Amino acid sequence: MASIAVTTARPKRRAKRDWRGWGFVGPFMIVFLGVLVAPVVYAIVLTLFRQQLVGGSGFVGLSNYVTLFQDSKFWESLFRVTLFLLVQVPIMLVLSLVAALALDSLRLHGSGFFRIAIFLPYAVPGVVAALIWGFIYGNQFGLTGSLNKFIGFDLFQPFSSEWILASIGNIVTWEFMGYNMLIFYAALKVVPTELYEAAEIDGAGQFRIISGIKIPALRGSIVIATIFSIIGSFQLFNEPNLLKNLAPNVISSYFTPNMYAYNLSFAGQQFNYSATVAIVMGIITAVIAYIVQLRGSRQEVR
Amino acid sequence: MSAATSVPAGPTDAPVRRKPRRLNYVQSSTNPKKRQRKSIVLTIVMAVFVIYSIIPLLWLIINATKSQDDLFSSFGLWFGKDFNLFQNIYETLTYRDGIFVQWFGNTLMYVVVGAGGATLLATLAGYGMAKFNFPGRKAVFAVVLGAVAIPGTALAVPTFLMFSQLGLTNTPWAVILPSLISPFGLYLVWTYAVDAVPTEVLEAARMDGASEFRTFFTISLRLLMPGIVTVLLFAVVATWNNYFLPLIMLSEPTWYPLTVGLSQWSAQASGVAAQPIYNLVITGALLTIVPIVVAFLFLQRFWQSGLSAGSVKA
Amino acid sequence: MSSIIKRKALRRVAVVAASALAVGLSLTACASGSTSTSGGSAGSAADLDAALKTGGTITYWSWTPSGEAQVAAFEKAYPNVTVNLVNAGTNKDEYTKLQNAITAGSGAPDVAQVEYYAIPQFALSDSLVDLTGYGFGDLQSQYSAGPWSSVAFGGKIYGLPQDSGPMAMFYNKKVFDQYGLTVPTTYDEYIAAAEKLHAADPTKYITSDTGDAGFATSMIWQAGGNPFTASGTDVSVNLQDTGSKKWADSWNKLVENKLLSTTPGWSDEWYKGLGDGSIATLLTGAWMPGVLESSVAAASGDWRVAPMPTYDGTPVTAENGGGGQVVLKQSKNPALAAAFLRWLNSDPESIKVFLASGGFPSTTAELSSPDFLAQAPDYFGGQKINEVLVDASKNVPTGWQYLPYQVYANSIFGDTVGQAYENNSDLNVGLQTWQKQLVDYGNQQGFTVK
């Protein structure tokens, strides 16, 4: 991505062009080709065929892609994760940002404790997180049930169709808020203190310092965190798949594109079509990540 | 979410706009001139964040002390009639001839071999990218970055079919091999190495006739250490949390990692001859996160400095 | 040594008890090898005995709680054979892995536990060994007709039944007494009881059902429906036949009026609900007592068993759940695998272990044994529940079929019929959607679907 700029900016400092570097890069690339590139190529080949339970396999050209573009289930799942992404990612990143700025403000009692406590959920495996929240979300006996009883009516229905995206979003936010907070915090720590001092001498208030110095300094981190969150949202699988037992009708077999691909191949034996979903999702993710990347750097230039 | 979100954020995309600085930059907190007035409001806001982060973990700890009957009959955030924690731990560790202990050992193996290998490969490759100009370098860069955007979980099917043709499914290799690749680790080490290892030092070593690998192991490795530790820690988390890949690759519980084992325990509560063991699922979940939390707490100093150092290189 | 003596004694008893006990047949075949008395395929049965003698190692996938003890007993009886028992997941998780291994062409076990509804799917993909050649046809008389027809169809025998699940109504007597409910015998009475109970206490429901493919198909079965038929690759799906409609029309009254608990089956909350009386009845298979006793201890003494409610008063029920074991074609030692399977599901010793673990048998000898019928567990207030359950096993309509892609069909039940549950709307609409998707899928996969 943009760091092509970084790397091409330094050719004069590098040793003369020769093959020695491959000694270091080679091992990585061999494994990389084997476990990442080969499956991608294989997946592309798969998309050109169709295998049936009865009647075997045959070359079908691009017909799987044509089917996919007319498949309302696929579009519904894509729409759902897009909606999820548009709501959950900003909320999570803003919360992470607020926490990071608070940590960096030096105006906290016990900031070290806060830092590690908020980060802890990141160490919890997604599977375990979904299990824990699944229990907590229980309408009758879980904490949600207790909360509803306290309020007096059933306000929270985590497994209803209206709430389910919010419920999953909450789990994802819980898992990754602290992680993003640390990314932002780490970037803030390297802003030269002199900048703040100069600003204060100029009479700038805390909010002015935040909007004028800290946020701009964080732009690169925010772009990266956004890209990761987009990739993560498009790949959403573990949480909805585990919660499906608790909300069997609300979480459909094509709730997210990844669940759709999984169920197509492992429940429906439609490996070729499933690979088509995977490849198309890969392309969509790459394009969107690239656009975010471009926008991020354009603002940087301006 | 998937593995992609649990990899470390690479250095930011922003072009270099600061001069490379000393790594032990001046932390603002060490500046005595800065006002240190504490804010109650801010502390309260952060306390809310902490409560949100901690409550599910508290729930887990409290409920790991309950028997299955208590679990079904007592309030979630308070203790049940009996304190059953040790009984639960004992049952978790001995259920089905101690399969949990075996899963624990498997997870450790995947972490040591997978995350260790990923860190090694990423370090070598990142260093190579940073310090050598070789034919095909730009192609490597483009391919690695391009592959990052493809949903790893969705590639599971072709990977599975490919591995099964190679006879790798249902072996530890099916889990280890894919986790050996950490493009973000490569990226982090790469940008870290650009400044952490001065080219002048390398040239001096070359003059002395040292081989490239010798130089790497005797000089560069030490300079790269903070970056490596960060990559390692995030690779450890990624492999410790790995669920999807082992789920489809492995059919025999003897090779399961903890995550897959726990979800199987959770699933056995259904259907004919259902055997719910919710108390063991909860206790097992607690035992699963304890080691990784402890590792984070103890290695805090290292990874936090590595993370900061990583983001210096933007 | 002692097991051999016991075996011989058992054989003598079995022989003396004469051919009425078909169990004796297999036992004789089992223990006496070449002197097998079973008719035409004697040579093949001898293959199995030879395989047992030669020994070897086989892998057996099962999640049933009795698996471990059964394997131990088998290895004791046949020291040359090692059985590697693997719990590869519970029901559909295991089928996914099994299907993966079949797709991959390697990694499948020799013997696997598969529920009845999934057997046609694996049979169709030609993944199972036809056991007719090993003389398994002679074992037919040992099993009740329903389970047997689930493992033997299209002129082939794909496995042996292990358990069965004739449906009955389990009800919480304490709740019934407290709210003055009488035990319903028809669905009209059942629905009336549902209304009365929920009106009296809004936290209580007659039952919980959030849409479960296994339950729905069994209920259609009971209503006389026959929505799926398959003959080779010719398949027909009609989820609006008389039986399907009959069930949907009556169950609609519960769904549309929100008289069903929305707690998903098998969740922790569901177990809690069974214990505290908020779920008052369960319409389910005869294997349920074992689950209740071991996992809903809080309600000990509260539950009772009654025959299924019916539509017109004529006793009728259906099978729900239950399954058997099959031998996979990937097996390198199919004779040994088949021999293990034969022992597993017909040897009295194995069946004894199975019964002790709370399973409900499919073998006629056990179903008619006075000991079995006389059991009166305290959990059910001393009721002789097996009398009710065995009676149910005699009232299962024959001719029911599952689709050759039923596992997939069940996986999209929530997407289709589940939506009717979710919106408290007409189940018939959901059934039509399900049917349409099943027809489309079947045609895509090369079946001829009507």
pLDDT in tens, B273-312: 788 888 999 999 999 999 888 888 877 777 666 666 555 4
Is there a single domain that holds both residue C10 and residue C90?
Answer: yes
B137 shares a domain with B74: no
Domain assignment present for B31: no
Question: How high is the mean pLDDT of chain B?
Answer: 80
Question: Which residue in chain B is spatially nearest to A287 when comparing CA positions?
Answer: B149
* Mutation site for A-interface testing, chosen from C210, C415, C417, C441 by largest number of A Cβ within 10 Å: C415
**Residues of B with Cβ-Cβ distance to A285 under 8 angstroms:** 149-151
Distance CA C2, CA B32 (A): 86
How many domains in chain C? 2
Instruction: Answer whether residue B167 shows pLDDT above 90.
Output: no
Token pair recorded at residue C91: 């029901």
pLDDT at B200: 87
Q: Give residue B203's pLDDT band: very low, low, confident or very high (50, 70, 90).
A: confident
Q: How high is the mean pLDDT of chain A?
A: 85
pLDDT tens digits, residue range B96-129?
A: 889 999 999 999 999 999 999 999 999 999 999 9
The percent of residues in chain B predicted with pLDDT above 70, rounded, is: 82
Least Cα separation, residue A58 to chain B (angstroms): 17
Whether C172 and C146 share a structural domain: no
Domain that holds residue C328: 2-164+322-382
Same structural domain, C124 and C201: no
Q: Are residues C154 and C81 in the same domain?
A: yes
C388 located within any domain: no
Give contacts of A36 with chain B, Cβ < 8 Å. Answer: 147, 150, 155, 178, 181
Please tell me the distance from the alpha carbon of residue B311 to that of residue A186, in angstroms, as a whole number. Answer: 7
Contacts 24+ apart (CB under 8 A), C429-435: C431/C239, C431/C240, C431/C244, C431/C248, C432/C239, C432/C240, C434/C239, C434/C409, C435/C227, C435/C237, C435/C238, C435/C239, C435/C240
> Based on the domain organization, do B121 and B204 belong to the same domain?
yes
H helix or E strand, kind and range, residue C341: helix C334-346
B12 lies in a domain?
A: no
Query: Of B258 and B310, which is predicted with more confidence?
Result: B258
CA distance C203 to C212: 22
Confidence at residue B225, expressed as pLDDT on a 0 to 100 scale: 86
Which chains share 3+ C-beta pairs under 8 angstroms with A? Answer: B, C
Residue C389, domain member (yes or no): no
Instruction: Please judge whether C263 and A271 are an interchain contact, meaning their C-beta atoms are less than 8 angstroms apart.
Output: no
Taking 80 as the threshold, does the pLDDT of residue A287 lie above it? Answer: yes
Q: Please check whether residues B99 and B161 belong to one and the same domain.
A: yes
Query: Do the domain assignments include residue C391?
Result: no
Provide the H-helix boundaries in A105-210. Answer: 111-119, 126-136, 143-151, 164-189, 193-201, 206-209
Residue to substitute from B72, B141, B311, B313, interface A, most A β-carbons within 10 A: B311
Residue of chain C whose Cα is closest to the Cα of B248: C97
- Which of C382, C410, C426 terminates a domain? The answer is C382
Which of C64, C88, C101 has the CB atom closest to B273's CB atom? C64
Are B155 and A40 a contacting pair at CB < 8 A? yes
C327 shares its domain with C267: no
Query: Which residue from A248, A252, A270 is facing C210, i.e. has the nearest CB?
Result: A248
Give the distance from residue B8's alpha carbon to the nearest chain A alpha carbon, in angstroms.
9
Angstroms from B151 CA to nearest CA on chain C: 21
Closest residue in chain C to residue B270, using alpha carbons only = C266
Residue B11 has pLDDT above 80, yes or no: no
Domain match, C9 and C115 both: yes
Is residue B8 included in any domain, yes or no?
Answer: no
The answer to the question of residue C367 being in a domain is yes
Q: Are residues B119 and B204 in the same domain?
A: yes
Same domain for B200 and B147?
Answer: yes
- Tell which of B166, B169, B272 to mutate to test the C interface (max C CBs under 10 Å): B272
Whether chain B has a CB inside 8 Å of the CB on C161: the answer is no
Contact criterion met (CB < 8 Å) for C278 and A141? no
Mean pLDDT per 10-residue section of chain C, whose length is 450 residues: 46 38 34 35 72 94 93 96 93 90 87 95 91 93 91 93 95 96 96 96 94 96 95 93 96 96 89 92 94 90 97 94 94 95 95 91 93 94 96 92 94 95 96 97 92
Tell me the nearest-neighbour CA distance from B53 into chain A, angstroms. 6
CA distance C10 to C23: 11
CATH assignment at residue B184: 1.10.3720.10
Q: How many domains does chain B have?
A: 2
Residue of A nearest to B23 (CA): A190
- On whether both B61 and B160 belong to a single domain, the answer is no
Smallest CA–CA distance, residue C322 to chain B, in Å, is 7
C172 and C151 in a common domain: no
> How many interchain CB pairs under 8 A, A with B?
380
- In whole angstroms, how far apart are CA B54 and each of A120, A146, B137, B298, C421? 8, 18, 45, 19, 36
Task: Report which of residues A84 and A223 the model is more confident about.
Answer: A84
Distance from C-alpha of C287 to C-alpha of B171, rounded to nearest angstrom: 35
Tokens representing C134 are 């090993």
Asked whether residue A298 carries a pLDDT value surpassing 90, the answer given is no
User: End-to-end CA distance of chain A, in Å?
Assistant: 18
Q: Are residues B69 and B181 in the same domain?
A: no
Q: What DSSP assignment string belongs to C48-112? A: HHHHHHH-EEEEEE---TTHHHHHHHHHHH-TTEEEEEE---STHHHHHHHHHHHHHTS---SEE
Is residue B176 located within the same domain as residue B62? no
**Confidence (pTM):** 0.86
Indicate if the pLDDT at residue B314 is higher than 50. Answer: no
Nearest CA in chain A to B150: A282
Label residue A15 by pLDDT band (50, 70, 90).
low
pLDDT of residue C189: 97
pLDDT tens digits along A124-134: 998 899 989 99
| Predicted local confidence at residue C4, as pLDDT | 46
Torsion angle of alpha carbons C46, C50, C55, C56, nearest 10°?
-70
Residue in B23, B53, B233 to test binding to A, most A beta-carbons within 10 Å: B53
The pLDDT of residue C13 is 39
Give domain status of residue C12, yes or no: yes
Task: Decide if pLDDT at A177 tops 90.
Answer: yes
Res B297: pLDDT: 80
SS3 of B129-176: HHHCCCCCHHHHHHHHHHHHCCCCHHHHHHHHHHHHHCCCCCCHHHHH
Q: Is residue C160 part of a domain?
A: yes
* Residues C112 and C241 occupy one common structural domain: no
Query: Are residue B234 and residue B287 in the same domain, yes or no?
Result: yes
Nearest beta carbon to residue C298 from set B73, B264, B276 = B73
Q: Give the per-residue pLDDT at C28.
A: 34
Which of B9, B125, B134 lies nearest to residue A28, judging by beta carbons? B125
**Which of B161, B252, B276 is the closest to C88 by Cβ?**
B252
Q: Is the pLDDT of residue A300 over 70?
A: no
User: Considering the domain boundaries, does residue B26 fall inside one?
Assistant: no
What's the ipTM? 0.85
Asked if C339 and C302 sit in the same domain, the reply is: no
**Does residue B185 share a domain with residue B216?**
yes
C144 and C112 assigned to the same domain = yes
State how far residue A155 is from chain B, nearest Cα, in angstroms.
18
In a domain, C434, yes or no: yes
- Best mutation target, C295, C328, C357, to test chain B (most B CBs within 10 A): C295
What phi and psi values does residue B224 have, to the nearest 5 degrees? -85, -5
Q: What is the pLDDT of residue A168?
A: 96
Read off the pLDDT band of B19 (50, 70, 90): very low
- Tell which of B132, B221, B244, B247 to mutate to test the A interface (max A CBs under 10 Å): B132
pLDDT at residue C382, rounded to an integer: 95
CA atoms within 13 A of residue C430's CA, in its CB half-sphere: 29
Distance from the A223 Cα atom to the nearest Cα atom in chain C, whole angstroms: 37
CB atoms within 10 A of CB B207: 8
Pick from B144, B213, B270: CB nearest A32:
B144
Residues of A in contact with C416 (CB under 8 A): none
DSSP-derived 3-state class of residue C143: strand
Of residues C254 and B193, more confidence is placed in C254
Burial class from Cβ neighbours inside 10 Å (0-12, 13-18, 19+) for residue B302 reads middle
Q: Name every chain A residue with its beta carbon within 8 A of the beta carbon of C405.
A: 53
Check whether residue B78 and residue B157 sit in a common domain.
no
Q: Please, which chains are in contact with B (at least 3 CB pairs closer than 8 A)? A: A, C
Cβ-Cβ contacts under 8 Å, C287 against chain B: 272-273
The confidence score (pLDDT) of residue B306 equals 64
Same domain, B112 and B79: no
C neighbour chains, 3+ CB pairs within 8 Å: A, B
Are residues C69 and C191 part of one domain? no
The predicted pLDDT at position A224 comes to 80
CATH number at residue C360: 3.40.190.10
Measured between CA atoms, the residue of chain B closest to residue C292 is B274
Residue with the larger pLDDT of the pair A65 and B210: A65
- At A153 the pLDDT is 77
Task: Specify whether C172 is located in the same domain as C282.
Answer: yes
Determine contact: C210 vs chain A, CB below 8 A. yes
Q: Does residue C387 form part of some domain?
A: no
Cβ-defined contact of B134 to A121 (cutoff 8 Å): no
Q: Which of C385, C316, C321 is nearest to C147 (CA)?
A: C321
Cα–Cα distance measured from residue B276 to residue B267, given in angstroms and rounded to the nearest whole number: 8
- Closest-CA residue of chain A to B173: A35
The residue segments making up the domain with residue B55 are 37-83
Sort out which chain C residues have CB atoms less than 8 A from B160's CB and list them: 100, 104
